[in-house]
Structure 1
Amino acid sequence: MEVKILNEKQQFILSLLQGRRLKEAVDELERIFWNKPETEINTIKTTYEYMLKYMLDGVKDPERYKLHDKLIQETLELSDKYFIEAFDGISNRIYHQRRRTDKPRLDNVTYGSLLATLEGFNDELAVSNLVEDKENINHVLARHEKALADLFPKAWLSNSWTLAEREEANQFLESKLLSENDLSLFISAVTLGLLSLFDARKFAWLIEAYKKNFVFASPRALVGLVMVINHQKNRLAYYPELNAQLSFLFEDKKTTDLVNDIYLQFLQSQETEKIDKKMREEIIPEMMKNASSMQDLKLGFEEAEDEEGHNPDWQEAMEKSGMGDKIREINELQMQGADVYMSSFSTLKGYPFFYSIQNWFYPFEKRHSTVYYEFGDQDEKGSIVDLILNSGLFCNSDKYSLCFTFQHIPKSQRDAMLSQLTEQQMGGLEEEQKMAKLQELTEKPSVITNQYVHDLYRFFKLFRFKNDFPDIFSSHINFHEIEQFDFIKKDSGYLNDLAKVFLKNEHYERAIEMYELLKDNKNVSFELFQKKGYCYQMTNQYELAIESYIKADTLKPDNVWTNRHLAYSYRASGEHEKALFYYLAVEKAQPNNLSILFYIGMCYTAMGKYEEALQYFFKMDFLKQNSKRAWRAIGWCSFISGKLEQSQNYYMKVLENKPSAIDYLNAGHVEWSLGNIKQAVAMYNQALSLYQDKDKFIELLLKDKPHLIEQGIPQRDIPLLIDLLN
């Protein structure tokens, strides 16, 4: 059977079970896997038949629904087992390839034996360092990493855990000798396995891993739980005991706060490609250009330095160059949890280290052989490795990339570079204070989860077999709609956080959804209606925008921002008189605002009140000299009101200052209306050459036909003039 057909059959059975059509699902499963042991399917069939018979006989059974859910759960698990074995035989996905090649060997390796090896690592390495036995150091490092290389696929590729395996896995959580980095890798392997094959025991183990309150491993376990809940949400309905554990877990405000942080981090990660593009095409080129221009500035290096050792001209020059704005923009993106380093580090994932899947998930460790062989076991404070290790700027994957890059840089230069990495954020602190501050930052749960989400993003986007994994960052992420995360919808603080992210990232429809939920929670304010109205406005839903803005105006009357956006929405809806009312209200507060003056004039123009419109356009021209916007407005308003010489004068000004195609078109209208046909044809030809599309030009010219006729142009002359054009 082909992979595609097998996948379709699996999805069909899953859809039947999600619709609780158990009998059809079991019959279909039996037809596909007719060669499997009859007892496994027959047990489910027989139990279900008895349950239905008792129902038919009118027997009252208070446990009927529980039994029904239990039978669906068992059928799902049996279906998983059969299909995964079938895919193992034919699929080229790395998951099934590795199950074919590695799993048989790893089935003979116990979690207990791997734990014993990992627990001995610290002492063995310490002894080898003490006697400076390099050969033994190499052996200890190799044995440790071999155990990790077995642990990861054993957990990732395994079938559902037996009770014995779950007990062995529990020992990893109880061990006092196991490093948190090794435990963190185990957690990632279990998570990755759950994304392919749901297992209640593994899921419950992740819950326990989080509850242990490990500094680094527990936040990673919570990220894993969030990912699995999102990916396997349809399964959890049939595991009441797991849902009960989750409900208890989410009674803790610290936990729900962190879940909300993780939600925001996943949403922010979905903006990485946009940020990456902005970094590559805007921020970095601008910084490089500004850096180049700064080299030409006389910064006064020859003058005496101030007490702090900095020349104040440096900062002034940086601000003038625009460099300061770009640095602040990067810092602001970082503070919001944005992944600003993906662009820089995506090209540094070709090192052999990243060929092994487990290395994408292993926390940065200075005793990993790839780091240890280059930098040694540096324990001194402020060492290059410690600075990378404790940096809150980079995720673990990027820390390894940075380390590998430093291997090709002379030691003196790389020490200078590393000191600069922390100087900007840690400036003014003594060395010990810096390290303490960095360590405090790296131990914040939200920082740990954010770095891990960035690690995951790099794996799902950059791993050489990335296409063999479901890209969790490409799917629509809506955690608040998942039953287990229902607490998000009930907390106005969480909803506000989500609304801010959606609004900032221009996902207006999703922001509207959050504002609706906030309204349902009776958490209303004039700002809520302002923002909701703005989202409707940006999605061209002007009637709804007006409705929201009016509610904002009711709660806080005469707000300039509200009035301005009300005016815009009315004008976009074609209700110019109502728009004018609000523009005039804004004018009282901002009498010299050129944009407001312009739109007031536009409203009067649309209402046919040309004299009133021209007064505002002339005021614009008075307030700002050489305003092409004012000249265009005066020229057009004068034309449609029959003041042709005045219109001609202003269009001549426009044409002397980098005119556009529409300027030539409108100037042509004026010349034609004045009887200057040759000049009109010349203007139209200029417009036509700029449009480079005669159909587009003709469409725009004909759109103005009523105005031309009103100024005395015979209707029959219009097609004739068009034929005069080049």
Structure 2
Amino acid sequence: MTLQELTNRYKNLVRRIDNGQMKEAFDLLTHFITVTGQHTFTSRVEELQNTYRYMLHYYVEGSNDPTRHRIRADIRRRAYELADAVRHATFGDISPATYYSVRRSVRYAGIGITSILRQVALYTEAGDREHGESAANRLFDALWTTEFIDADTASALREALSSHSFPTDVKTLLVSALLLGLQASFDREKMRLLFDAAALSDADTVNVSLQALVAICLTLYTYSDRLELYPEVQERLEMLAETPDFRRRLSSVIVRFILTRETEKVAHRLKDEILPEIMKLTTQGGKGPTTDFLKEIAGEEMNPEWMERMVGSSDKLSAWMREYGELQEEGIDMLHTTFGPLKRFPFFHETGNWFLPFTPRHTALRDHNGDSFADGILSLAAFMCDSDKYSFCFSILHLPDAQRRALGEQLRGDFSQLREQEAAELGDRGKHEERLIGLYIRNLYRFYKLHPGRADFDDIFERGLDFHRLPILRPYLSDAETLLRIAEVYLRKGYPDDARPIYEELLQRGEGDSEMLHQKLGYCLQSIGDVDGALREYLRAELINPDSKWLLRRIAACYRAIKQPTRALEFLLRHERLEPDNLSVLLHIGHCYLEQKMYDEALKYYFKVDYLDPTNAKGGRGVAWCSFVLGKYDQARASYRKLIAEQPQPEDYLNAGHTEWASGHVKEAYAYYLQAAAGKDFDFFANLFDADRSALIRAGIDPEEIALMRDEMQYVLPEEVM
């Protein structure tokens, strides 16, 4: 049986336990043990199943056992743990996955977690960084791959976490090892340790407690179906919630995970929009080859002349650069694409190093001349996670000595302003802690997206991570202020379907600004295509604020979308009374009259748009078409000539042809039709032409002539453009 088949059997078994189908679960577990040859677990399954059968027997006999719920929960919990134990025992010697490869190395070394903890403490006391770093990595691997730690080991780890002498950077490694270990299988002792770490309150352990909270949230999400079996988790969470700033920190964790969704979107925009724009600009005007320019952008100082030309020459690029700064300030990960290729250094062969807090004193950063260029990297803390700082340093180590020393001096000088900004941020504890949370999540993101063995891990960032919907976390996230903050992030970042239920809940509870909630719920519904639902919410908001121009336009747009131009017109005319010269509103009023075939009224509004803004092509097209339909061919002809002279569309040539044809100029009409179809196939032309058939007939053109013109165009145009 293949590893994939065994994995599928395990997942099927877990689903049965999730659903409480214990008879099927025991059958599958027994079969799983048989096919894997792990017969040492047989007696434990039999004992567990016998206990379950006794419980069922007492139940059907009518016994009112008050402990039945607790006993059944204990059976389910033990079944989960037994299934995990069988899986680990089966895969331990045969799986090539990263987890099991490291697990085999740890077991071969034969050194327990408690012994490694003592080694770390001794090396720290002796100031032996090299051996201390090696021991820290061994500790990470051992804790990560030990599926169930015993009480004595847990006690030693708890003592290390609370000790002032135990190095803080190793404490953070312990948290990450606990997180990865819990993602491999649930262990109560590991979960207890995470709560211990999250409860740390010393100034030098802020990062440890914040990272532990992130790890707790991820673990709760992963095992949401099992949490009822571990009442102590609920109890520990309630205790943690009593600590200062817990709710604020929890809210920050959720917001920062939402923002990770933007990482790939930003990366794609950078690759598909921004870099091509830069390449285009740098190959114009003989200013130098693109490759040299990109080298400057990625490495040394950027040429100020090029930057000035970039910003001055491209509105799109200028707008992107402003947006870049805003996204960076908001906490969006802008560096994932940049540092992706820099995770191949040997340093990252050790899994623990993906989570190691940055220090310029790490032995891997010692260069041949003993200078401390890495000190300057500490100033990048405001926007670069630890993993990226190491990547940056290793890339610098590959520079020639002279360039590296020069760059080190530049770093120490150029980043002084960033140091000042970070010092100022420390005065805002909430902002500072939210940034620290975001940086740790970036470390996690790098690990799950860039680790060489990433295919061996269940990518947590592929999940929804909607923590606010977890029942166990709801009591701490249910206040209106927190929910609104989460909803605003969803809405602002383009996830209306995630924001929608929050607005619905707040409206149902009667909390918050009801008009604004109806508006935003309507916007969410409209964004996901539920126009009727959006209209319902907009109308409810309009009852509260009938003079909202935004609402009037949205309501009108919905009525137009459901083909009710008369109703749309009612709200647009109200908007016009509030803002008589709004071009967009005037255009839509014209469109509504046009849809009702009230061409004279439509023409008045299109003329007004054209008068207020002669460059507005939409207004010009409205004037031209209404003039054509009303038989004002000279007026239509003048309008179409103006449109064609500026930025013509195929429809402009087509309608200009209609105008000439209705005026009796068949040859001129034919010439315009050919221009309308230039570079297109016949189907493209026919779709446009056939849609105007009724308008041509109203203009007095014989249906037979329409058929003749259509056939002629089919002769001269290709059937299909490949």
- Asked whether the two chains share a fold, i.e. TM above 0.5, the reply is yes
Q: 1:269-289 deviations in whole A, cap 9, x for unaligned? A: 111011122334445666788
CA-CA distance at 1:689 after TM superposition: 1.8
* 1:320/1:187 CA distance change after superposition, 3 Å: same
* 1:640-659 correspondence runs (5 A): 640-659=629-648
* 1:453/1:695 CA distance change after superposition, 3 Å: same
* Distance (Å, rounded) in 2 between the aligned partners of 1:663 and 1:638: 14
The aligned residue for residue 307 of structure 1 is none
The aligned residue for residue 102 of structure 1 is 105
* Distance (Å, rounded) in 2 between the aligned partners of 1:319 and 1:96: 52
Whether the 8 Å CA contact 2:10–2:32 is kept in 1: the answer is no
Match for residue 220 of structure 1 among 185, 203, 211: 211
The answer to whether residue 562 in structure 2 is matched with residue 573 in structure 1 is: yes
The answer to whether residue 716 in structure 2 is matched with residue 713 in structure 1 is: no
State the secondary structure of the residue aligned to 1:90. Answer: coil
The code of the aligned residue for 1:158 comes to T
- Greater Cα offset, 340-349 or 87-96: 87-96
The aligned residue for residue 59 of structure 2 is 55
Whether the 8 Å CA contact 2:656–2:669 is kept in 1: the answer is yes
Whether the 8 Å CA contact 1:389–1:399 is kept in 2: the answer is no
The answer to whether residue 272 in structure 2 is matched with residue 269 in structure 1 is: no
The aligned residue for residue 23 of structure 2 is 23
* Distance (Å, rounded) in 2 between the aligned partners of 1:384 and 1:90: 42
Q: 1:96-126 deviations in whole A, cap 9, x for unaligned? A: 2322x313224x312222222222344423x
* Distance (Å, rounded) in 2 between the aligned partners of 1:624 and 1:68: 75
* Distance (Å, rounded) in 2 between the aligned partners of 1:339 and 1:682: 54
- Greater Cα offset, 679-688 or 519-528: 519-528
Q: 1:288-326 deviations in whole A, cap 9, x for unaligned? A: 889999999xxxxxxxxxxxxxxxxxx999986768755
The aligned residue for residue 554 of structure 1 is 543
The answer to whether residue 396 in structure 2 is matched with residue 402 in structure 1 is: no
* 1:375/1:236 CA distance change after superposition, 3 Å: farther
The aligned residue for residue 590 of structure 2 is 601
CA-CA distance at 1:472 after TM superposition: 1.0
* 1:269-668 correspondence runs (5 A): 269-283=260-274, 326-373=320-367, 385=375, 387-388=377-378, 391-407=381-397, 408=399, 409-423=403-417, 425=418, 436-437=423-424, 444-487=432-475, 490-525=478-513, 526-668=515-657
Give TM-score, length-normalised by structure 1: 0.88
State the secondary structure of the residue aligned to 1:444. Answer: helix
* Distance (Å, rounded) in 1 between the aligned partners of 2:517 and 2:16: 42
The aligned residue for residue 84 of structure 2 is 80
* 1:356/1:18 CA distance change after superposition, 3 Å: same
State the secondary structure of the residue aligned to 2:139. Answer: helix
- Greater Cα offset, 436-445 or 171-180: 436-445
The aligned residue for residue 676 of structure 2 is 687
* 1:272/1:477 CA distance change after superposition, 3 Å: same
* Distance (Å, rounded) in 2 between the aligned partners of 1:288 and 1:438: 36
CA-CA distance at 1:185 after TM superposition: 0.7
CA-CA distance at 1:375 after TM superposition: 8.3
* Distance (Å, rounded) in 2 between the aligned partners of 1:524 and 1:707: 52
CA-CA distance at 1:389 after TM superposition: 5.6
CA-CA distance at 1:541 after TM superposition: 2.1
Whether the 8 Å CA contact 1:367–1:377 is kept in 2: the answer is no
- Greater Cα offset, 269-278 or 531-540: 531-540
State the secondary structure of the residue aligned to 2:546. Answer: coil
The code of the aligned residue for 2:236 comes to Q
The code of the aligned residue for 1:256 comes to R
State the secondary structure of the residue aligned to 1:59. Answer: coil
CA-CA distance at 1:469 after TM superposition: 0.8
* Distance (Å, rounded) in 1 between the aligned partners of 2:284 and 2:623: 41
The code of the aligned residue for 1:369 comes to T
* Distance (Å, rounded) in 1 between the aligned partners of 2:577 and 2:275: 42
Count of aligned positions: 682
The aligned residue for residue 291 of structure 2 is none
* 1:696/1:461 CA distance change after superposition, 3 Å: same
Whether the 8 Å CA contact 2:360–2:374 is kept in 1: the answer is no
* Distance (Å, rounded) in 2 between the aligned partners of 1:626 and 1:159: 70
* 1:324/1:422 CA distance change after superposition, 3 Å: farther
The code of the aligned residue for 1:501 comes to V
* Distance (Å, rounded) in 2 between the aligned partners of 1:255 and 1:294: 57
Whether the 8 Å CA contact 1:247–1:484 is kept in 2: the answer is no
* Distance (Å, rounded) in 1 between the aligned partners of 2:645 and 2:31: 81
The aligned residue for residue 93 of structure 1 is 97
The code of the aligned residue for 2:18 comes to Q
* Distance (Å, rounded) in 2 between the aligned partners of 1:621 and 1:481: 51
The aligned residue for residue 305 of structure 1 is none
The code of the aligned residue for 2:660 comes to E
Whether the 8 Å CA contact 2:425–2:432 is kept in 1: the answer is no
Whether the 8 Å CA contact 1:511–1:535 is kept in 2: the answer is yes
Whether the 8 Å CA contact 1:223–1:262 is kept in 2: the answer is yes
The code of the aligned residue for 1:611 comes to D
Whether the 8 Å CA contact 2:380–2:415 is kept in 1: the answer is no
CA-CA distance at 1:60 after TM superposition: 1.9
CA-CA distance at 1:579 after TM superposition: 1.3
Whether the 8 Å CA contact 2:650–2:676 is kept in 1: the answer is yes
The code of the aligned residue for 1:607 comes to Q
The aligned residue for residue 248 of structure 2 is 257
CA-CA distance at 1:58 after TM superposition: 2.2
CA-CA distance at 1:70 after TM superposition: 0.1
Q: 1:363-421 deviations in whole A, cap 9, x for unaligned? A: 1122211224468596xxxx751552662211111111222233323322332245334
CA RMSD of aligned residues (A): 2.8
The answer to whether residue 686 in structure 2 is matched with residue 698 in structure 1 is: yes
Q: 1:610-660 deviations in whole A, cap 9, x for unaligned? A: 112111111122112343222211111112222223212211211112311
The aligned residue for residue 116 of structure 2 is 114
The aligned residue for residue 308 of structure 1 is none
Match for residue 170 of structure 2 among 182, 186, 206: 182
Give TM-score, length-normalised by structure 2: 0.88
State the secondary structure of the residue aligned to 2:438. Answer: helix
Identity of aligned pairs, percent? 30
Whether the 8 Å CA contact 1:365–1:389 is kept in 2: the answer is no
Whether the 8 Å CA contact 1:391–1:438 is kept in 2: the answer is no
* 1:92/1:110 CA distance change after superposition, 3 Å: closer
Whether the 8 Å CA contact 1:492–1:521 is kept in 2: the answer is no
The answer to whether residue 136 in structure 2 is matched with residue 148 in structure 1 is: yes
Q: 1:219-270 deviations in whole A, cap 9, x for unaligned? A: 1111111111111212222111222222332345621221221111111111
State the secondary structure of the residue aligned to 1:410. Answer: helix
* Distance (Å, rounded) in 2 between the aligned partners of 1:387 and 1:437: 18
- Structure 1: give runs of 5+ residues left out of the alignment: 126-139, 297-314
The answer to whether residue 661 in structure 2 is matched with residue 672 in structure 1 is: yes
* Distance (Å, rounded) in 1 between the aligned partners of 2:584 and 2:70: 66
The code of the aligned residue for 1:411 comes to R
Whether the 8 Å CA contact 2:677–2:685 is kept in 1: the answer is yes
* Distance (Å, rounded) in 2 between the aligned partners of 1:399 and 1:47: 55
- Greater Cα offset, 199-208 or 51-60: 51-60
- Greater Cα offset, 274-283 or 589-598: 274-283
Whether the 8 Å CA contact 1:489–1:517 is kept in 2: the answer is no
Whether the 8 Å CA contact 2:247–2:477 is kept in 1: the answer is no
